[in-house]
Amino acid sequence: MTYTIKRTFAILFMAIFGSVLLYNCEPETDALGEQLFLNDAAQGEEISRDVIAYNIDNNDSIRSDASAMYEVYNSTRKAVLGAFTESQFGMQRASYFTQVRLPSYSPDFGANPVVDSVVLVVKPTYATDSLTTTTNEDYIYPDGNVAAKKVVNTYPVYKYGKAKINGAVPQFTIKVNEVGDFLNGQNDIAYSNTIYDAPLELGSKLFNGNVNSVTITKDSDASSLYTSSAVGVRIPLSASFFQTKIVDKASSSDLKDASNFIRYFKGIKLSVVESDGYLFQFNPDDIEMIMYYKNDKTENGTTTRPQTTYKFTMGSANAHIGHYEYNRSTQFDNSVIGDKINGDARLFTQGMGGPSIGIKIPAATINELKQFYQNNKKAIIGARIRIYTDPSWNINYANYNNKYTKPIDFTIVQKDVDSNGKETTAFTTDLLNLSGSINFSPYKIYDIDKNPAYYDFTITKSLKDIVETGVDNTNKYFKIDLASFINTTSGTYAGYKYSNRAFSADRAVFIGNDPSNKNKIQLLVVHSKK
């Protein structure tokens, strides 16, 4: 089965390798090349050659600040929470830090204000088509002991990890702590392995993997008593903390402006206590923190104490930082060091700061292809790197959500060294030249429902440049990650630096340079005489 990602090549795309002249409707094979390789329809000789494939150890660290969390550039973000343990990659736990701001400064909470309650609402991504509704006709609304009806709509959160542990759905204790360190600004760089102090717990909630919305109406006239603002998980926070920290300090200089406030109340941390279960995503800009308080209201000589809602600002103006912890085995640490001379037998790749894959085309292969081109007039009309998943990758499929078993999202970039000896990064030449083509695909997926699956990464133009135009290959290599490039709101790529790797939960093991394995990673080249 073939799974084609994004687009496949346009048959007569005239700008594939620059300006091309057609004579009698027959293109030059060394000039066009890839149009003959559409949908595996290349008409020529195919050869298979080894590449040097190795693990790249990223030290379990990645840039994870607000700018790295973009799902759609300059529009929406994603953050991760949870924990997941499995035998190959060990334990991975994701926490989240954010600042808090006031909707306006030097706030006036009125006369004799007293905080009733505070809730933090987190809105994970959930399955909208899996709804369960429960109704309590005999509910008593606590504020005034009002007879009411309570309706709860429940949805399962999208999860990466284990559906069950020992037959039970995993549950997490989500904790909210006050941050003790200044988190800097929204545009400042932060990394996922940075440790921030967060000593004081403000609240917690047992999370069963579901989110809900709540509606409460009066029995007497069906008028609304309460409607939750969104589907999410509501975490109760300490009312006394906010009474002391916010309400009682309303007139202080700490609450006078944003600069003072984010150094006074430095932010909150969300984390989970447990070390196994699953990872789930949420939009950090959609978090709500709501304080409910009462104060004296006097009208016509009568004093009442109505409840008032106060929403803190939790959105894009704040710093947002993902924090990721790992507990790896010694065997794993040794495996990802990376043998750049002989390659590695198994290739480990993982999002959120885990390892990447490096692929180098050996000089001997380049020289051989140059001889084919120069002496035998054989031009490259198609080239791809084929990589298979390791069928022995130790996953207990009964405990995993199969939707996340094999990855379908990848990024591939070209690495090189400039004249000053500094490493450079860029889109592959194929992606730069062909991404505007209607049917271009940087990679294809095959047998995704089988074990193993395999993937073909298109490098036709990149290889042609080296073999046929003399582009230097000395320091050039390809880097593959389990992620997607981020689009702008207009649908174009934001740039090679922008991907969702900072919050991609995917991981996989592939067959690398294992000479005993028929599915070892290979360079497949199709060439034909001019």
Query: Which tokens sit at 494?
Result: 């934001």
d(CA 89, CA 333): 10
Strand (E) or helix (H) holding 262: helix 258-264
C-alpha gyration radius of the chain:
28
Residues near 54 by beta carbon (within 8 Å), at least 6 away in sequence: 338, 339, 340, 343, 344, 347, 357, 358, 360, 512, 513
Q: What is the 3-state secondary structure (H, E, C) of 389-431?
A: ECCCCCCCHHHECHHHCCCCCCEEEEEEECCCCCEEEEECHHH
Can you tell me whether residue 22 is helix, strand or coil? coil
Determine the Cα–Cα distance for residues 308 and 294; give it in Å rounded to an integer: 6
Spatial strand order of the sheet with 477-481 comes to 52-56, 356-360, 477-481, 411-417, 423-427
Dist. CA 341–CA 344, nearest whole Å = 9
Cβ burial 442-463 (10 Å sphere, 16+ → b, else e): bbbbbbbeeebbbbbbbbbbbb
* 347 and 479 Cβ atoms separated by less than 8 Å: no
Residue 74 pLDDT: 83
From CA 491, how far away is CA 384, in angstroms rounded? 26
Helix (H, G, I), strand (E, B) or coil at 253: helix
Spatial distance between the Cα atoms of 379 and 407, rounded to a whole number of angstroms: 33
Alpha carbon separation from 302 to 104, 297, 380 (Å, rounded): 29, 8, 89
Three-state DSSP class for 365?
A: helix
The predicted pLDDT at position 530 comes to 64
Q: Are 120 and 288 in contact (CB under 8 A)?
A: yes
- Find out whether the peptide bond into 407 is cis, omega within 30 degrees of 0: no
Tell me the C-alpha distance between 432 and 426, whole Å: 9
C-alpha to C-alpha distances, 360 to 55, 234, 338, 467, nearest whole angstrom: 12, 49, 12, 14
Cβ of 341: how many Cβ atoms within 10 Å? 8
Would you write out the chain's pLDDT as a tens digit for each of its 530 residues? Answer: 444 444 333 322 333 333 232 223 333 443 344 443 444 444 688 999 999 999 999 999 999 999 999 999 988 999 999 999 988 899 999 999 999 999 999 999 999 999 999 999 999 999 999 999 999 999 999 878 999 999 999 999 999 998 888 888 899 999 999 999 999 999 999 999 999 999 999 999 999 999 999 999 999 998 998 888 789 999 999 999 999 999 999 999 999 999 999 999 999 999 999 999 999 999 999 999 999 999 999 888 888 899 999 999 998 889 999 999 999 999 999 999 999 999 999 999 999 999 999 999 999 999 999 999 988 888 999 999 999 999 887 554 444 444 446 899 999 999 999 999 999 999 999 998 877 677 778 999 999 888 899 999 999 999 999 999 999 999 999 999 999 999 998 888 899 999 999 999 999 999 999 999 999 999 999 988 76
Q: Please give the torsion angle defined by the CA atoms of residues 102, 314, 122 and 146, in that order, rounded to the nearest 10 degrees.
A: 30
What's the rounded Cα separation, in Å, for the pair 64 and 77? 11
CB 345 within 8 A of CB 513: yes
Strand partners, 313: 101
Whether the Cβ atoms of residue 530 and residue 29 lie closer than 8 Å to each other: yes
The two most distant CA atoms of the chain are separated, in Å, by 103
18, 67, 84, 4: which is closest to 396 by C-alpha?
Answer: 84
Three-state SS at 202: strand
113 contacts 185 by C-beta, under 8 angstroms? no
Number of Cβ within a 10 Å radius of residue 502? 25
Q: What is the pLDDT of residue 385?
A: 98
Handedness of CA 396, 92, 162, 389 (dihedral sign): negative
Beta-bridged to residue 5, according to DSSP, are none
Residue 331: which H helix or E strand, with range? helix 330-335
Encoding tokens for residue 350?
């993982």
